[in-house]
Structures are given as C-alpha cells and as structure tokens.
Amino acid sequence: MAVSGAFATANEGHDPHAEGGHEEKKGFNAKEVILGHVKDAHDWHLLSVGDFHLTMPLPVIIYNPARGTSMFSSSKFEHGHKSYEGYRIVDAHYLEANHLSPKLYTEGKIIAVDANDQPTGEKIYDLSMTKNITSMILAALLLVILMLNVAKAYKLRGSRQAPKGFQSLIEPVIIFMRDEVVKPNIPGGKADRYVPFILTIFFFILINNLLGLLPGSANVTGNIAVTFALALISFVAMMAATNRHFWGHIFNPPVPGFVKPILAPVELIGVFTKPISLMVRLFANILAGHIIILSIISLVFIFGTLNRGIGYGFLPVTIAFNIVMMLLELLVAFIQAFIFANLTAVFIGQAMEHTGHHDEHH
C-alpha cells in the first residue's frame, strides 16, 4: 500500500498523459487510486511528486504459444503508453481510444497486439516478475535469512545455553506453534512431521502480511492468486494426510441408508470448502485492511478537491484514524497468519482422524 503515492496522485489525477503537454484537471477518483494500489502491477510505483514518478521497472516474462517467450523490462511499456514486442498493458486510455470493453480487457493486464496496436486475441501466459512477486521474493529472502540466522544461533549455542537476541524472540513462537497448534490437532507421532510445514506457512504469511503494511509495499497476501496458492498447498497437505476412514466417512456417512446419497455430496463439498475458506479469509481480511487505510487517506483528497483548506483540516483526523487502523492491521497480520496455520493443522488432523466423530471448525 503506497501511502506516499496517494498524496501525489491527488495532485495530478490518475496517470495523465505526458505527451502533448495536455493537463486536464480531473477530479479525484478514489476507486481508481485504491484499486491501483491494492492490485498487482508490472512496475513498482514508489512515489510521485508532481509529474515525477519514482517507479521501479520489473521484468516482464510472457510465454506465447505462437511466438515463444519474451522477456524485457516493464519500463519498455512506458507506464502503459507504448506497446513493445507486440505486447502492451491495457489501461483506461487504451480502452477508450480503441473503443474496447473493459469487461473483455482488464486494466493492468498484458495483451498481445498487432502492428496497429490492436488486440490480436492471442492466448498468452503472463509469468512476469510483478510487484507482488518481487515483494514475495524479498519477503522469502528476508524470511530465509532470518531463520537461517536463528538456526545458526541454535547451532552455535547448542541445547545447553539459553537463547539470545532474535533467537529468543522466535523461540517462543516456534514452541507455541509446535505445542499449541500442531500437537493438539495432529494426532500422535505424526505431529512432528508437520511442524516444519505449519511453521513455514505461519512465518511465510506473517512476513508477507507485515511487509504489506509498509508504505509503498505490495499487497501480497491480499491478492487472491497468492492465497489460492497457499490454500492449494494446504489442501494438498490435507489430501496427502487422508486415510481410508476419512473417505469412508465422506462417501459412506454413518446415517440411515436413504440419507446417504444426500449427505455424501454435502460431505464432498465440505472437503473443498475448507481450503476455499482459507483462501477467502486471508485474502478478504488483508485486502479489506488495505482498502480501509487507503480510503481514509483518500478522504483527505476527496475533501481537498472540494476545498484545499478542508483537505488540510481533515489531515489530523486521517492520521489519527490511520494510526488506529495500522495497529489493527498489525494485529490482523498476526491473527490471519495464525488462523491460516492453525486451520491447516486442524484440517490435516481431521483428515487423519480415526475416531468416528468430526468437528467442523470453520
């Protein structure tokens, strides 16, 4: 969420055309600004002051079954103003200029275009290093470096010495996840096998949540593709843990014969609702937090378009609200990471259960 970006955007509307020197004074479009910040992008927009945009270009990687793979910097698109190697980013101006329906061509997506800058309708696979992916790689690197350091501290101090520094911050979390999340949910001797997995899920989501709160950073865990990937991993782990008893319970539920055909599909749907609930919960919580913070900031500019004085006058209120929201989001970052990890452990535990009863934790 780029707080700094929002300030500048208000002064110049949204993405004015640099060429031709035409500067139309548009009203502040909060929806555009907010969605622009919470969505993934092909470049990392850090801040804008007037007409100066500080943007980090990111590599674009496109696989086109017809043309092969293309790889170039996103700066070649010049923020959606130009096409390059037969590809371009769809933006509002392009749609408007070519009378294309925004329903068919989503803004921010890369499409294949012909020599006349018209969409060819080719099927392409966009595997670019987008803003979210870059942010996620940074988070992953940070996490790996931090945890390897912690592991080094353990190797250095051994089991006889008390933990120190960052090690003693992480240790209670690891122990908590192991003893309060994994062990109570996953039965017996199998618990130890799942501890690394649950720990990785927790810390991976947590670090992405936390980095997402920094001004100017990407909204990684508030993107449904990311939470879909995480939920899929959790689903695969859950499926790998299932036993005969679990499937027996789904296809042959312990109910009178005539209810079985009704209940079996319901039970089968239940298998899939678990990862879907994980996906939607994380996505919605993080996205909602970002949208609220951006909306509160946008209020300043909405008032500012009415009257400059009101805009500045509203600034303290915005700051106060945003401090509260930020603290709340900090809490949500931890809670959502914990819930995702905890529910994954619960679902894996349910899949392994041998006893007849099933509790639904939703």
Partner 1 sequence: MDLLMPELGLFSISLLIFIIVFLILKKFAWKPILATLKEREDSITDSIATAERVKEEMAQMKAEHEHVLAEAKAERSKILKEAKELKDQIISEAKAQAQAEAKKIVQDASVAIENQKLAALTEVKNQVGNLVIEVAEKVLRKELSDKKAQEAYIGQLASEIKMN
Site residues (vs partner 1, CB under 8 A): 35, 38-40, 61, 106-109, 125-130, 132-133, 136-137, 140, 143-144, 147-148, 150-151, 154-155, 158-160, 171, 174-175, 178, 192, 195-197, 199-200, 203-204, 223-226, 228-230, 232-233, 287
CB of 7 or CB of 197, closer to partner 1 = 197
CA distance 324 to 319: 9
CB of 144 or CB of 328, closer to partner 1 = 144
CB of 150 or CB of 339, closer to partner 1 = 150
The shares of helix, strand and coil residues in the chain, as percent rounded to the nearest 5, are: 60, 10, 30
SS3 assignment, position 232: helix
Q: Determine phi and psi for 119, rounding to 5 degrees.
A: -60, 135
CB of 61 or CB of 263, closer to partner 1 = 61
Considering the complex, what minimum distance in angstroms separates the CB of residue 173 from partner 1? 11
CB of 12 or CB of 107, closer to partner 1 = 107
Considering the complex, what minimum distance in angstroms separates the CB of residue 150 from partner 1? 6
205, 340 Cβ separation under 8 angstroms = yes
Burial track 27-60 (b if 16+ CB lie within 10 A, e otherwise):
ebbbebbbebbbbbbbbbbebbeeeebebebbeb
Considering the complex, what minimum distance in angstroms separates the CB of residue 148 from partner 1? 6
Considering the complex, what minimum distance in angstroms separates the CB of residue 331 from partner 1? 23
124, 112 Cβ separation under 8 angstroms = yes
Considering the complex, what minimum distance in angstroms separates the CB of residue 232 from partner 1? 7
Chain position carrying tokens 């698109």? 77
CB of 54 or CB of 284, closer to partner 1 = 284
Considering the complex, what minimum distance in angstroms separates the CB of residue 74 from partner 1? 13
CA distance 25 to 15: 11
- Give the Cα-Cα-Cα angle 262, 265, 266 (nearest 5 degrees): 85
